[in-house]
Amino acid sequence: MAADTPGECRNWVIYEVYVRNHGPNGTFADVEADLPRIRSMGADAVWFLPIHPIGVEGRKGTLGCPYSISDYRGVNPEYGTRADFGRLIERAHALGLKVMLDVVFNHTSRDSALVREHQDFFHLDGRGRPKFTVPEWTDVIDLNHPNPDLSATLIECLREWLRFGVDGFRCDVASLVPIEFWLEARRAVAEVKPKVIWLAESVHAAFVNLRRSLGLTGLSDCELHSTFDMTYDYDLWPVQQAAMAGKIPAGRYLEMLRFQESVLPDGAVKLRFTENHDQARTMNILPDLRRAKAWTAFAAFNKGAFLIYGGQESCAEHTPSLFEKDTVTWGDYALQSFLTRLAILKKDPALTAGRFVLLGDEPAVQAVWDRPGCGLYGVFNVNDGEGGRVPVQLPDGAYQDVLNDEEVLVSSGRIEMRESAAVLRFADSVSFKSIHGLLMDYSHPLD
């Protein structure tokens, strides 16, 4: 694992930054100035969307997409200089933050340095011209793996950025690149830095199936976990979104969480989130702040690492454009203290060394992190923002809610939900009953 221990990796908090739209000037200096605040929220690592120069040919929008890279070794002058990025990394390290760089090894811009020098590195059409394999990605052309010379070139780029000070990589559409490349890359970069963070943007299951039907690479999450420390949660994302929007019961999502854990390798780490740069903001899907907080709290309480997308702490409703200058409106950081509490929660001994159990979904989602003498009981009112009395599986008595340090009483097996979420600390041994109907039990012979 890239982390010191598997438990640490599982409980990381990653903060996502898009330099162009993070600060007023869209520069490395803006982000550097904001690093102390990001660290104070409890972030362990900062993940930067690609910071490289952007192609001009076929450019989308005025400024182009950061995922249309023209030079893997360069820095986008729009953001500052290479030295500016180096100072940012040094400042992050001084604050105790890791720095993750977004790498895009499925495609380049149509006018990249690689296509000028090595046209044979790319998928070619019938006329020998580089092409793209995803119809809507018209500003890029696709690299054609496997190719030993291509692999050596890309891996050396990774090694250079590690020497520069980067601590890890978020690998764009990792499912579209052969697993043999990722295995080779991991072995090679370990020679430069033994502990490197590897996060895969695994893709939707439907996209995996489509790629395979076209005779192209489409890796499942299980395959990616053979080399990556963490993968995206996109295998369940359509179900999660439908549950968040109230289109299906929350129990459907919990059922899929149980299924996900049963099919992934033991100890596999998922990155949980309710929004990122490619998805609608939580406050756009759920304009009801109470329900938005409940779903966000459950994402953090859930098993896995937790992602905060820059602007989420300000209740941002608008997802910034990838193609234009579209600065986040920060306002008064209305959710910062709440997200900070959730980040602190990720390091609680119950979450780092306990056993996670889903307990129920009606009238509120409930789950527990249980370990001898130390446990946390979560209640998340994702279904009804108004709250009310909710039955729980805790003995009557007084409990501390670690999300706000208030005392919560369990009376006649129920609590009064004053907020959208509550996480109650308990010390005594409690026998919990897992949710019914999840993963049908076929352990008994059928008649």
At residue 121, φ and ψ (nearest 5 deg) are -80, -5
Q: Find the mean pLDDT for residues 425-441.
A: 67
Please report which confidence band the pLDDT of residue 231 belongs to, taking 50, 70 and 90 as the band edges: very high
Q: Which residues, 6+ apart, have CB-to-CB distance to 194 below 8 Å? A: none
Please report which confidence band the pLDDT of residue 430 belongs to, taking 50, 70 and 90 as the band edges: confident
Q: Find the mean pLDDT for residues 424-431.
A: 84
Please report which confidence band the pLDDT of residue 1 belongs to, taking 50, 70 and 90 as the band edges: very low
Torsion 245-248-249-254 (CA) sign: negative
| Tokens of residue 82, six digits | 């290479």
Structure confidence at residue 388 (pLDDT): 79
Domain spanning 6-347, CATH architecture: Alpha-Beta Barrel (3.20)
Q: Which of 162-171, 269-278, 421-430 has the lowest mean pLDDT?
A: 421-430
Structure confidence at residue 7 (pLDDT): 45
Q: Which of 100-114, 190-204, 428-442 has the lowest mean pLDDT?
A: 428-442
Structure confidence at residue 385 (pLDDT): 59
| Tokens of residue 190, six digits | 């370990």
Please report which confidence band the pLDDT of residue 13 belongs to, taking 50, 70 and 90 as the band edges: very high
Q: Find the mean pLDDT for residues 20-49.
A: 98
pLDDT beyond 50 at 441:
no
Specify whether the CB–CB gap between 168 and 228 falls below 8 A: no
Distance CA 72, CA 161 (A): 10
Structure confidence at residue 428 (pLDDT): 75
At 338-373, the pLDDT tens digits run: 999 999 999 999 999 999 999 989 899 999 999 888
| Single pTM value for the model | 0.95
At 172-214, the pLDDT tens digits run: 999 999 999 999 999 999 999 999 999 999 999 999 999 999 9
At 39-70, the pLDDT tens digits run: 999 999 999 999 999 999 999 999 999 999 99
β-bridge partners, 99: 46
pLDDT beyond 90 at 310:
yes
DSSP 313: G
Distance CA 76, CA 93 (A): 22
Could you give the residue range(s) of every CATH 2.60.40.1180 domain in the chain?
Answer: 355-426
Please report which confidence band the pLDDT of residue 436 belongs to, taking 50, 70 and 90 as the band edges: low
Three-state secondary-structure class, residue 219: coil
pLDDT beyond 70 at 442:
no
Distance CA 367, CA 355 (A): 10
Structure confidence at residue 6 (pLDDT): 40
pLDDT beyond 80 at 8:
no
Distance CA 279, CA 216 (A): 25
Could you give the residue range(s) of every CATH 3.20.20.80 domain in the chain?
Answer: 6-347
Q: Find the mean pLDDT for residues 214-234.
A: 96
Q: What is the CATH number of domain 355-426?
A: 2.60.40.1180
